[in-house]
Amino acid sequence: MNSKEYIDLAEESLMHTYNRYPIVWDRGEGVYLYDLEGKKYLDFAAGIAVFALGYGNQEYNNAVHAQVDKIIHVSNYYYTVPMAEAAEKLVKASGMDKVFFTNSGTESVEGAIKLAKRYYYDKTGSAAGEIIAMDHSFHGRSTGALAVTGTKKYREPFGPLMPGISFAEYNNLDSVKSLVSDRTCAVILEPVQGEGGIYPAKKEFLEGIRKICSEKDIVLIFDEIQCGMGRTGDMFAYQGYGILPDVMTCAKALGCGVPVGAFAARGKFADVFVPGDHGTTYGGNPLATAAVSAVFDIFEKEKVLENVREVSAYLWDTLETLAEKHKDQIADHRGKGLMQGLEFYEPAGKIIVRAQAEGLILISAGTNIVRFVPPLIIKKEHVDEMAEKLERCLE
């Protein structure tokens, strides 16, 4: 069968929840993808910031293969070696104290919300805890995560959602202060907004929120699902600001392709849940946590964070040059680490389709922002190759 036949087959059986591009992927190698017809593409999307180690990392593949041959699932009524090792590595890397493994980023946000509400309930005896989230935020598609997602078009068709949610203006501390009350149980935000347009938080904004939450005993939740796991040059973006949350969520590059997420907490917040409060059938299964454990080992061995810091600076300079040269097309350039964006005057979809024709994979963030979230193993020559291809798209 050719690509068109597979596309037709998929369209007959899949719900139409995505407007997919007409490409059928066959394989990947390093930072390149190949379609069914053998065309080569430079990947600057990484499966939406997931495939941090690129395609075909042998140490990662071997770890996953070995675990498949041992055991894939046993349920959370028991312990497994990969679960214990992955938990220890995530706790050490994040500065948190305890972790709960999930199957996705959305589930991680759901768990973090439940933890904050349970903490408020234990403290006050009331289940009326309220949450402050941010405008233009994105935290997931399930009803709890959707309730704290600050984009109306995502929420409105699915109401009524969880009550007690208010939205502050990102990077505006006074906006957050105006919403805090005795009922506030949590503040949730992304240190770098992803879907909302690639907006990094200002340090004084995060410092101000940290101070408010500490003084008023409010749970501070940082959503690191996209910006975490080395994407900004630190293992987690909040570490670059020198600010610890009470709870953090992660997923995406945590498993580098194997579906896995987690939320972690520190101090008194790490012991809020008691048996029966929360659970998952597949979360933390041996296959997923073997992948997580391997990811942390490879990050250290291959000095991934050091590479991100070096190459992200080069990517920044390259995109700055492009933005300056094409002022008539590009309105802004922003981001942090290997999570950057160019804001165009035209819809991003047009640029993305042109890029595909040039053998370059990009994705959008919002209507007119092209997002650059490549594998964290890219080198300067890949940035140069991307820039050449993008230049032809802009011409």
Phi, then psi, of 31 in degrees rounded to 5: -110, 20
Domain endpoint, select from 301, 325, 351: 301
What is the domain range of residue 216? 59-301
Q: Where are the alpha helices (DSSP H) in 148-202?
A: 152-155, 173-177
Verify that 152 and 263 share a domain, yes or no: yes
Run of H or E including 330: strand 330-336
Verify that 123 and 220 share a domain, yes or no: yes
Write the CB contacts of 157 (distance below 8 Å, at least 6 apart in sequence): none
Verify that 95 and 199 share a domain, yes or no: yes
Give the three-state DSSP class for 102. Answer: strand
Distance CA 287, CA 71 (A): 7
| pLDDT at residue number 366 | 86
Contact 206, 64 (CB under 8 A): no
**Tens digit of each residue's pLDDT (9 = 90 or more) over 211-228:** 999 999 999 999 999 999
Domain endpoint, select from 276, 301, 326: 301
| pLDDT at residue number 395 | 85
Which whole number is the average pLDDT over 74-98?
A: 97
Verify that 73 and 124 share a domain, yes or no: yes
Closest alpha carbon to 223 in 137, 114, 301: 137
Neighbours of 82 (CB within 10 A): 22
Distance CA 228, CA 182 (A): 31
**Which CATH number does the domain housing residue 108 bear?**
3.40.640.10
Q: Which two tokens stand for residue 222?
A: 């940082």
Distance CA 375, CA 55 (A): 9
Contact 137, 148 (CB under 8 A): yes
Verify that 187 and 164 share a domain, yes or no: yes
Q: Please say if the pLDDT value at position 279 is more than 90.
A: yes
Residue with tokens 């005057």: 345
Tell how strand 199-200 and strand 192-193 pair up.
Answer: antiparallel
Verify that 291 and 314 share a domain, yes or no: no
Which whole number is the average pLDDT over 351-358?
A: 97
**Tens digit of each residue's pLDDT (9 = 90 or more) over 297-344:** 999 999 999 999 999 999 999 999 999 999 999 999 999 999 999 999
Verify that 38 and 115 share a domain, yes or no: no
Distance CA 317, CA 338 (A): 12
Burial (CB count within 10 angstroms: exposed 0-12, middle 13-18, buried 19+), residue 197: buried
Verify that 122 and 42 share a domain, yes or no: no
Which whole number is the average pLDDT over 27-46?
A: 97
Verify that 236 and 273 share a domain, yes or no: yes
Residue with tokens 């070995």: 66
Verify that 73 and 193 share a domain, yes or no: yes
Neighbours of 19 (CB within 10 A): 6
Q: Which two tokens stand for residue 366?
A: 């919002």
Residue with tokens 């017809």: 37
- Count of structural domains within the chain: 2
Write the CB contacts of 99 (distance below 8 Å, at least 6 apart in sequence): 87, 90, 91, 262, 263, 264
Percentage of the chain with pLDDT > 70?
100
Burial (CB count within 10 angstroms: exposed 0-12, middle 13-18, buried 19+), residue 114: middle
Closest alpha carbon to 57 in 362, 227, 295, 309: 295
**Tens digit of each residue's pLDDT (9 = 90 or more) over 142-190:** 999 999 999 999 999 999 999 999 999 999 999 999 999 999 999 999 9
Write the CB contacts of 324 (distance below 8 Å, at least 6 apart in sequence): none
Q: Which two tokens stand for residue 295?
A: 């990811």
Phi/psi region, residue 198 (left: phi>0; alpha: psi -120 to 50; beta: rest), is left
| pLDDT at residue number 74 | 96
Verify that 200 and 214 share a domain, yes or no: yes
Which whole number is the average pLDDT over 244-264?
A: 98
* Whole-number Cα distances in Å, 157 to 146, 160, 306: 11, 9, 44
Q: What is the end-to-end Cα distance of the chain in Å, rounded?
A: 36
Which whole number is the average pLDDT over 68-84?
A: 97
Verify that 27 and 156 share a domain, yes or no: no
What pTM was estimated for this model as a whole? 0.97
Domain endpoint, select from 275, 301, 327: 301
Q: Please say if the pLDDT value at position 383 is more than 90.
A: yes
**Which CATH number does the domain housing residue 15 bear?**
3.90.1150.10
